[in-house]
């Protein structure tokens, strides 16, 4: 297991220096944020990012994310230009030593929550999702600003895009996704790049838009479309785990050879389609982090993990889900679980 940490670049109040001080930290997970979606990531920008991270004593092995242009998801004629650009970005990233690209195929919106600053009993604050509150939101009329929302959308632009999705159901989205995979995976095979799709978060449709990467069935379908091992997954425990139908240790045992990247975090399911993002510890939420990591050990997992969303604790103010303190606690907890599981496995269960 290689421990990594998400860093949002120079504007991130969590500096590379702080990240390096977390015990066991190996790699940074980041992206280039100032190139418009769909354009090629040029070599100069990639080289500068790699240098910055390496100068701080860390590696840059994982990109999260290279976003997929909406025209690709919509299957518009312009998709071929954007696909050619995506392939060139893959080639450029491979040239500078990037091993894994995390991405998603969610229409319009990325991850979604109903409240970004919900006070828990201990006075820390967390992100939560309540279906009834989301159902009451109207992205067409309200001024919502949520973490996964592309802030560059104007109201008119967003409404036009939502109109374009009117004819896109889950089958059509799968068709467009297959077209995407068939275009990019051969390039990954050429340059040895591992693609790792992030599950839809939460793993069910929102605002009437289809969402297709929701659990084991989606993984089977993806492998059938494109069997290359480079067609892989970011197993995000908090995203998949929001649906009780997803048995995470079983998913890791079955698909672990394609889990190039794992996001480890816990959530507490509070009701049907409702959850709070709890601290990482198993006893704080609904997921058994020990069982999840035991499954990783059983399959000999040797790829990248990162602690995922943290609560805001100790007075920290910052990007929702991405402060320093609770994620650093998460990393330390994950490292502790891993050391115990690994030593026990090596001792044949007798440690």
- Both structure tokens of 143: 């001024």
Catalytic pick among 263, 274, 304, 333? 263
User: CA-to-CA distance for 190 and 169, rounded, in angstroms?
Assistant: 32
Write the interaction track for ligand DNO spanning residues 56-85; mark x where CB under 6 A is met and - where it is not.
--------xx--------------------
Q: Nearest to ligand DNO by Cβ — which residue?
A: 65
Is 82 assigned a catalytic role? no
203 or 256, CB closer to ligand DNO? Answer: 203
In the residue annotation, 12 being an active-site residue is answered as: no
What's the min distance (Å) between Cβ of 195 and ligand DNO?
Answer: 11
Site string for ligand DNO, 216-255 (x = CB under 6 A): --------------------x-------------------
What string marks each residue from 99 to 138 as x (binds ligand DNO by CB under 6 A) or -?
Answer: ---xxx-----xx---------------------------
**Helices 79-95 + 170-191 axis angle, to 10:** 30
Place of tokens 């509070």: 270
Q: What is the spatial order of strands in the sheet that 125-130 belongs to?
A: 115-119, 125-130, 274-276, 268-271
Please return the burial class of 251, using the count of CB atoms within 10 Å of its CB with bins 0-12, 13-18 and 19+.
buried
CB atoms near residue 276 (< 10 Å): 22
Query: How wide is the angle at C-alpha 305 spanned by C-alphas 145 and 199, nearest 5°?
Result: 50
8 binding ligand DNO? (CB under 6 A): no
Site map for ligand DNO, 256-275, x if CB under 6 A?
A: -------x------------
Active-site residue flag, 308: yes
Q: Exactly one of 23, 97, 148, 336 binds ligand DNO (CB under 6 A); which one?
A: 148
CA-closest candidate to residue 238, choices 213, 260, 263: 263
Options 97-105, 136-144, 173-181, 218-226: segment touching ligand DNO (CB under 6 A)? 97-105
Contact between 9 and ligand DNO by CB under 6 A: the answer reads no
- Annotation marks residue 342 as catalytic: no
DSSP string, 83-132: HHHHHHHHHHHHHTT--EEEE---SS--S--SEEEEEPTTS-EEEEEEHH
The CB-of-340 to ligand DNO minimum distance in angstroms stands at 27
**Exposure string (b/e) for 20-53, b if CB count within 10 Å is 16 or more?**
eebeebebbbbbbeebeebeebeeeebeebbebb
> 69, 79, 194, 198: which one contacts ligand DNO (CB under 6 A)?
198
Catalytic hit among 236, 255, 274, 304: 236
Total residues interacting with ligand DNO, rule: CB under 6 A = 13
- In the complex, what is the shortest distance from the CB of residue 251 to ligand DNO, in angstroms, rounded to a whole number? 17
For residues 101 and 65, the answer to whether their CB atoms sit within 8 Å is yes
Does 273 participate in catalysis according to the annotation?
Answer: no
Q: Name the 3-class secondary structure at 209.
A: strand
Active site annotation includes 309: yes
Closest distance to ligand DNO from the beta carbon of 83 (Å): 17
d(CA 6, CA 25): 11
Residue 48 CB, shortest distance to ligand DNO, in Å, is 21
Q: Which residues of the shown chain bind ligand DNO in the complex (CB under 6 A)?
A: 64-65, 102-104, 110-111, 148, 198, 236, 263, 309, 321
């Amino acid at each position: 297991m290689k421990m990594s940490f998400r860093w949002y670049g120079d504007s991130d109040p969590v500096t590379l220096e702080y990240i390096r001080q977390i015990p066991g930290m190996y790699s940074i997970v980041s992206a280039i944020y100032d190139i418009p979606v769909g354009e090629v990531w040029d070599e100069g920008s990639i080289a500068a990012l790699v240098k910055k991270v390496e100068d701080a004593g860390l590696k840059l092995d994982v990109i999260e994310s290279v976003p997929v242009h909406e025209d690709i998801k919509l299957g518009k004629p312009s998709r071929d230009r954007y696909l050619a650009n995506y392939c060139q970005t893959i080639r450029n990233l491979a040239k500078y030593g990037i091993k894994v690209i995390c991405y998603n195929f969610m229409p319009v919106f990325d991850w979604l929550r109903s409240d970004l600053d919900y006070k828990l009993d201990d006075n820390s604050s967390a992100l939560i999702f309540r279906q009834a509150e989301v159902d009451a939101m109207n992205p067409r009329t309200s001024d919502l600003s949520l973490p996964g929302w592309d802030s560059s959308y104007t109201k008119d632009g967003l409404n036009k895009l939502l109109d374009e999705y009117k004819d896109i159901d889950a089958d059509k989205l799968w068709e467009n996704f297959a077209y995407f995979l068939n275009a990019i995976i051969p390039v990954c095979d050429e340059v040895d790049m591992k693609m790792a799709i992030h599950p839809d978060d939460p793993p069910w449709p929102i605002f009437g838009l289809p969402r297709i990467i929701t659990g084991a069935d989606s993984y089977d379908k993806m492998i059938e479309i494109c069997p290359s091992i480079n067609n892989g997954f970011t197993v995000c425990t908090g995203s998949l785990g929001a649906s009780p139908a997803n048995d995470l240790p079983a998913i890791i045992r079955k698909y672990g050879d394609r889990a190039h990247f794992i996001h480890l975090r816990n959530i507490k399911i509070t009701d049907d389609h409702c959850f709070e993002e709890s601290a990482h510890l198993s006893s704080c939420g609904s997921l058994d982090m020990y069982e999840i990591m035991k499954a990783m050990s059983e399959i000999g997992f040797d790829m990248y993990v990162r602690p995922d969303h943290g609560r805001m604790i100790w007075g920290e103010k910052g990007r929702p889900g991405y402060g320093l303190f609770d994620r650093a606690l998460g990393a330390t907890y994950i490292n502790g679980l891993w050391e115990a599981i690994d030593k026990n496995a090596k001792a044949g269960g007798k440690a």
